[in-house]
Each structure stands twice: as structure tokens, then as C-alpha cells.
Amino acid sequence: MTHRQMNLAVGFCFQGGFSMTVTAKETKAQRAERLKRAMNPWEGLEEIRRFAREGFDSIPPEWIGTYFRWWGVYTQGDGAGVTGGHGGEGRALQRFMVRIRIPGGIVSSHQLRTIADLTRRYANGIADLTVRQNIQLHWVTIESLPEVLDRLWQVGLNTTGACGDVVRNVTGCPVAGVDADEIIDASTLVLEASRLLAGNADFYNLPRKFKISIAGCRSWCSYPEINDVGLTAITRSIGGEPEVGFSLRVAGGLSTEPYLGARLNAFVRWNQVLPVIKGIAELFRDSDVLREHRERARLKFLFLRHGWTAERFLDELQDRIGFKLDTAVEEHPPDDVYRDHVGIHAQKQPGLSYVGAVVLRGRISADQLRSAADSAERYASGELRATNMQNLLAVNVPSINADSLAKELDAIGMRVGGSSFARGTVACSGTEFCKLAITETKSFSRWLVEELEERLPGFDQHLKLHVTGCPNSCGQHWIADVGIEGKKIKVQDRMVDAYYFCVGGALGLHQSTARPVGYRCAATEVPDALERLLGQYLAEREPGENLRRFFVRHTDSELRAFLAGEVIDAVTRDLPSPQSLVQSAGGIGD
């Protein structure tokens, strides 16, 4: 038995012979908590600069595995994903992923050009838009990391808290302030919440990641239901006068055990939003019971494992913040609203439009980043927004220029429009860069979209098609119309990429996590399965019936038969071992 397996304290007792006292191995949770107590990583910038001078081999394990994450930095996988690694994690290269935190997805053309330049110089010319409105770089070396951080700070961007056991990027409606139908522009609250919590030493040591969404729109396009704190604008009448405040949901999250946030019986006034968010973050920080298991450390596990209710949470929150919240008022969740923002849309400001372009599966090149920034400045005000469907918008475009801007974006491969498949496909990083992934997702998703466009050219329904390379759901397959989860299966004596199908996920009025229907196939067979499923929908849909309703009125067995083309038995949705779940709990998604 090695020292890495068990710490041994050995002694002798001459009356009773040899005796050995055994101290149990430190758990993943215990190690993480010990390292966090030992150091606030945000105080370690000079260490990062020293690593850059001395090279990769100078970096100690606690930085590689833990502290870098507080700076939005992870070691990059070797391209094989979890395969070939150990303990539920694949092998790492001496390269880094760097996640740029962009609150509300709000970015200027000047900032985007800086990201484009960093992408070209240090990231092999490619970047990824994420499902939390961030931008990720890959292939960054330790030698170049300080330069990347410094250049971002110079233009008002940073990576602080984009990863780690901290408050992650605060998301909001990407068309806040310009949406013609919004209740209120909540972007100032998004930015204020980010300034309050990102880099705040009082919140550097949370049990796990903590996600916040604040939306003033009617579409809830920042997905409040899957955030630890989800605030959505709502209007009440006081003495005949309207007052805008917020509904409050807590403890939402996906990963291997999805939970849609619990709505509290509270009306949160505008000036109460920041104290409420801070109070919930403090409750989470001080919940020691959540620090015992890394795989059960998210806020949702107070509800899933420890018996908390919405009523108890509200009581605890009000005790924490020191004032009572008004009772909730009736809300109107969005009813089957599609939220991708692609196309040309009139703003509430007369004569202005916003133009939304598809960034297929979130992958964007340095040239595209620079061209999009230049076009937004040439035809508009140079204001852009990243969305949580991995797309990019230009806002405040004079309507007379909108078509010209759209043509330029189309010319660089960012379609303003396009098929339902291109618009609705979302993909996580996959094995290309992620050490936890089982399957390759980015190139697969592009090929899948091309196949479906060729096979079903007339498909006329909105479709959220989410591809996630492992059970951790960084690709958010639980909330998709069709979500496919990466697996491996044996075909002719060799292991190949495969996907397990979940269908019928939805948020808003009809919120529900997608149903695992018991069908799995090799990645190469996914287009066939989807062609059969969607073809069946087109053939037998009722008047006005969308995909969600179609899935609701069919059983798992029927949907499985549509996918397979024949009646087959269900396949179990196999999950990684408990050890792997501890290692990868929550994934490395943002």
C-alpha cells in the first residue's frame, strides 16, 4: 500500500505485539476545503507571474488542480477526454483554457478586437462562446498567461471568478435595454451584482460554483430556472400605480442530477436585489453540510438531500438580510418562447434594430471576432452581446444599416438566420479540450447540423438540440427539445463515440427536464435517428403542435421506436462510477 493510498501511523506495543493506527485517506472534499482555507487564490497573482518566468514545471499541484480555477483557468485535456486518464479525469497538456468573464454578455467592439488579437496570438486562432455568455480561449501557455490577463484588464475585461468555487459570471438578457417588449432594463443590476461579488474576498471560498441570472425581459432568456439565484422582472400594482420588482427562484442547477429552481413567496423590490443576492450567497457560503461531499455541494442539495423547503429557505434568507420581503404576486412564465435572438429585430428605440448572428456550436475564429467587431463599429455603435445559446448580437444598429451588417456577418460565416438546426444547436467543449468529456462534440455538432439540413430541408419548427460530451450537462441537454449525452459503446471490437437521447426538456410555463427515453446509438447513427424522429413529427403532428407537445403525448417506448426505426427494449442510461462523479461533479462548464 503506497503513501498516496493511505497515510499510516505505525507503533509497537510489546505486550500486545504489533499494532498499526490507520488514518483514512483525505477525501476530495477534505482536500479542496483544506486548500481553500490555506489560501485565497485571488491573492496569488505574483505567483502566476513567477510560474510564467520559471515555466510549467515550477507550478505546484495545488495550483494546477485548484487555485488556477479562481482565475478562470483550467489545464487543457490532451484531446482524448476522460479516456486514458485515472480517477475520472483525463490527461492534461501543458496548456490552459482561459475563460473571459463577460457579465450579461455585454462587450464592446474594442474589447472584442482585443479578444480577437489574443485568440490569434496565444490560442491557435480559435475561441468558444459559452452558455453563460463568456468567451473561452484554448492553447494558452503559462508563459503567455500574464500577458493575456494584463491585456484583458487594460480594456475592462477579466477572468476573475469565471471558474472555481465562487460566484460565476452573472448572466442577463442579451437584449436588455433594447428589447421592445421588456419589462425593465436589468443590465445595471447584472453589472452591479458582478462588481459586488466577483473578486470579493468574502466570497472566495464557497462550497462549489454559484450562478446568478437577472432578467428584465418577458422571455426569461437567461434561464433563471437553472441558476442558484434566478430573478425575473414582474409588475405589481400598489395603490393603482405599477411597480416593477422581481420574482425569485433559488437552487436551480443541472449536472448529473437536475433541479429546476424553487420559487420563493417573495416580491423583491429593485433596491432589495443586491442585498438579497448577497444574503443567498452568504447562506450558501455558511452551509457547512454542503462541504462534506464535492458531488453534493451545490445549493440545490439543500432541497434534494437535506430537507429544505422554499418556506424554510425564505425564512433563513430574511433572517440573514434583516428585513422581510413582500409576498409574491402572480407571474406569467413564457409559454413556449424561443430565445435565440437570431435575425434582424426592431428595438424599442425608434429607427434602431439589433442583428443576431449564429455562431454554430459556439466556435468562432480570431478573424470572425475581429470582423464582427469592425462591422458592428462600421454600421452601428460598436456594441455587441454574447448569448447563452452561443450566438453573437450587434445592438443599436440604425435600421437602414441592418441589412448591410447582416450581409457582412453572413459573408464571414456568421449567418443572420439559417436553419432551425443551425440556430438551435448548442455544444459543450467535448474531448477536444475537456478532461472530463467522453465524446468529441464541436466537430460532431457541425457535421450533425449539415446532415440534418440536407436530410430535412423543409423543417419549419424551432428546435433546441443540445450536445453534451458527458453526464455533467455543460451542454445543458436537460433543457433541450432533444438533448444527447456522450457515451462510449463497442462496435466491431473497438470503442466509439455514442449518444444517449433525452427529449422534451423545457423552461418557462411548461418547465420540465428532458426524459431519458432509453435509446443510445453510435455518433455516426445520430443523424439517422433524428431524421426518423423529426420525420415522424412532421408526418403526424396535429395542427399547431410544436415538438414539446408532440413529445408529451407520446410514451418513452413510442419515442424510442421513432428514433430506432423499430420497437426495441430500453437501454439503461449508464453513469460514471461514484469515484468519477466525485472527481467531475458539475463538470468544468461555466
The confidence band for 458, taking pLDDT boundaries of 50, 70 and 90, is confident
Domain boundary among 360, 390, 411: 411
Q: For residues 95 and 124, what is the distance between their CA atoms, to the nearest angstrom?
A: 11
User: Are 76 and 121 in the same domain?
Assistant: yes
Query: What confidence score (pLDDT) does residue 11 get?
Result: 38
Tell me which residue of 351, 357, 62, 409 sits closest to 180, measured CA to CA.
Answer: 351
Does a structural domain hold residue 9?
A: no
The answer, yes or no, to whether residue 489 has pLDDT greater than 60, is yes
Residue 36 lies in a domain: no
pLDDT at 10 over 80: no
Q: How many domains does the chain have?
A: 4
236 and 369 together in one domain: no
Mean pLDDT for 257-267 is 97
Task: Give just the sign of the alpha carbon dihedral 221, 280, 254, 507.
Answer: negative
- Note whether residue 13 is domain-resident: no
* Identity of the residue numbered 27: T
Residues 297 and 385 in one domain: no
Residue 376 sits in a domain whose CATH number is: 3.30.70.3340
What distance, in Å, lies between the first and last C-alpha atoms of the chain?
A: 38
One-letter identity of residue 265: N
Read off the pLDDT of each residue in 499-519 and give the average, rounded to a whole number.
97
Is residue 364 scored above 90 in pLDDT? Answer: yes
Q: Are 214 and 186 in contact (CB under 8 A)?
A: yes
Instruction: Single out the residue in 411, 431, 446 at which a domain terminates.
Output: 411
Residue of 329, 316, 134, 317 lying closest to 232 (CA atoms):
329
Q: What is the mean pLDDT of residues 515-520?
A: 97
Tell the residue number behind the cell numbers 434594430, with chain if given. Answer: 353
Q: Is the pLDDT of residue 3 over 80?
A: no
- The answer as to whether 388 is a domain residue is yes
Taking the CA atoms of the chain, what radius of gyration do you get in angstroms? 24
What is the residue whose three cell numbers read 515550477?
Answer: 58
Q: For residues 406 and 450, state if they share a domain.
A: no
- Strand 171-172 to 212-215 pairing: parallel
Same domain, 205 and 316: yes
Structural domain contains residue 76: yes
Considering 411, 441, 470, which residue would you say is the last residue of a domain? 411
Q: Is residue 378 part of a domain?
A: yes
Is residue 542 located within the same domain as residue 435?
A: yes
- Cell numbers that stand for 502 in this block: 433525452
- Residue 329 within a domain: no
- How many percent of the chain have pLDDT more than 70? 94
For residue 546, give every residue at least 6 positions away whose Cβ sits within 8 Å of its Cβ, in sequence order, or none: 336, 461, 462
The H-assigned helical ranges of 39-180 are 45-54, 61-65, 109-122, 145-154
Name the helix (H) or strand (E) containing 345: strand 343-346
| Residues 74/96, Cβ–Cβ less than 8 Å | yes
**What is the Cα–Cα distance from 487 to 471, expressed in whole angstroms?**
9
- Residue 18 has a pLDDT of 46
Q: Are residues 195 and 145 in the same domain?
A: no
The percent of residues in the chain predicted with pLDDT above 90, rounded, is 89
Q: Do 200 and 314 lie in a common domain?
A: yes
Q: 197 and 126, same structural domain? A: no
Query: What pairs with residue 301 in β-bridges?
Result: none
Q: Half-sphere exposure of residue 267, counting CA atoms within 13 Å on the CB side? A: 15
Higher pLDDT, 110 or 576: 110
- How many Å apart are CA 123 and CA 151, to the nearest integer? 14
Average pLDDT rounded to a whole number, residues 237-242: 93
**270-315 confidence digits (pLDDT tens):** 999 999 999 999 999 999 999 999 999 999 999 999 999 999 999 9
Kindly state the average pLDDT of the residues 439-467: 96
Q: What is the CATH number of the domain that holds 525?
A: 3.30.413.10
Residues 467 and 564 in one domain: yes
Q: What is the arithmetic mean of pLDDT over 54-58?
A: 98
pLDDT over threshold 50, residue 578: no
Same domain, yes or no: 191 and 123: no
Instruction: Give how far Cα 402 sits from Cα of 180, 354, 406, Å.
Output: 17, 8, 6
Query: For residue 305, is it within any domain?
Result: yes
Q: Which domain holds residue 76?
A: 45-154
Predicted TM-score of the model (pTM): 0.93
- The verdict on 266 and 371 lying in the same domain is no
